């Protein structure tokens, strides 16, 4: 199914689910799933993804959310469901493996194993045997770099063949509570100075102290203190 934006993907998949449930006499099931999806906010499933990285092109991420719903309703078969024992092991070490670290898609698969479902070649989906446990999603992003091809009088684009992971998500809770950002993800969201205003609680005391001192310096800077809102 093709969609140019995450919002377009959401509309297409939502309508498809509504039609399938209507044809099967399962309107109540669809209403229940719709109520669960409301946890993504008033801007729909697409909203948090657009806000997270400032792009409307979040089709794969939106499709991964709906993939879990399709599976829960019996409209999508998946391979390699994760055993309860393995699930506890996987989810228990997520922050240690991913938070604030640069991890590539290949490494993520080596850590977590083969995904139950791959969406758009960049979102790894892991589904436990128990549907009530929710799914685990690994969001990757392949950057493109344009460079001049010396001697050929042209520019060429290099595609990242092993994309970086930018975020890890767990469903079954609020979007923010289930979100883990890698170093790449934090840099995309807050810029290279993210660590000043968003220090990691697991950092050594000296690192936290440095971040705190820099925040104090920024707060005392007249050029910042006198800046009008929106400027």
pLDDT, position 203: 58
d(CA 181, CA 188): 10
Residue 79 has a pLDDT of 85
Hey, which bits of the chain come out as E strands?
Answer: 117-119, 123-126, 136-141, 144-149, 154-159, 164-170, 179-181
Q: What is the pLDDT, as a whole number, of residue 53?
A: 87
Q: Where are the alpha helices (DSSP H) in 24-83?
A: 27-37, 46-53, 59-72
Q: What does the pLDDT read at residue 214?
A: 47
Ramachandran class of 116: left when φ > 0, alpha when ψ lies in -120 to 50, beta otherwise: alpha
Q: Domain residue spans in the chain?
A: 1-77, 79-189, 193-231
pLDDT along the chain (231 residues), means of 10: 94 97 97 94 95 92 97 93 94 94 96 96 95 95 89 90 96 91 92 70 61 57 48 46
pLDDT of residue 182: 96
Burial of 5 per CB tally in 10 Å (0-12, 13-18, 19+): middle
pTM: 0.84
């Amino acid at each position: 199914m093709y969609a140019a934006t995450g919002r377009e993907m959401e509309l297409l998949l939502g309508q498809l689910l509504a039609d399938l449930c209507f044809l099967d006499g399962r309107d109540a099931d669809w209403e229940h799933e719709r109520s669960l999806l409301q946890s993504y906010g008033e801007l729909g499933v697409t909203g948090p993804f657009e806000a997270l990285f400032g792009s409307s092109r979040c089709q794969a991420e939106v499709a991964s959310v709906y993939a879990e719903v399709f599976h829960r309703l019996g409209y999508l078969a998946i391979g390699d469901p994760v055993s309860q024992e393995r699930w506890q092991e996987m989810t228990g070490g997520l922050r240690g493996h991913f938070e604030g670290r640069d991890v590539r898609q290949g490494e993520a698969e080596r850590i977590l194993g083969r995904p139950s479902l791959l969406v758009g070649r960049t979102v790894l989906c892991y589904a436990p045997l128990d549907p009530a446990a929710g799914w685990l999603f690994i969001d990757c992003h392949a950057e493109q770099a344009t460079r001049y091809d010396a001697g050929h009088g042209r520019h060429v684009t290099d595609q990242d063949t092993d994309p970086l992971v930018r975020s890890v998500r767990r469903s079954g809770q609020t979007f923010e509570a289930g979100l883990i950002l890698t170093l790449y993800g934090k840099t995309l969201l807050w810029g290279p100075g993210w660590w000043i205003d968003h220090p990691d609680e697991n950092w050594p005391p000296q690192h936290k102290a440095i971040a705190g001192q820099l925040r104090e310096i920024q707060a005392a800077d007249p050029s910042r203190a006198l800046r009008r809102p929106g400027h």
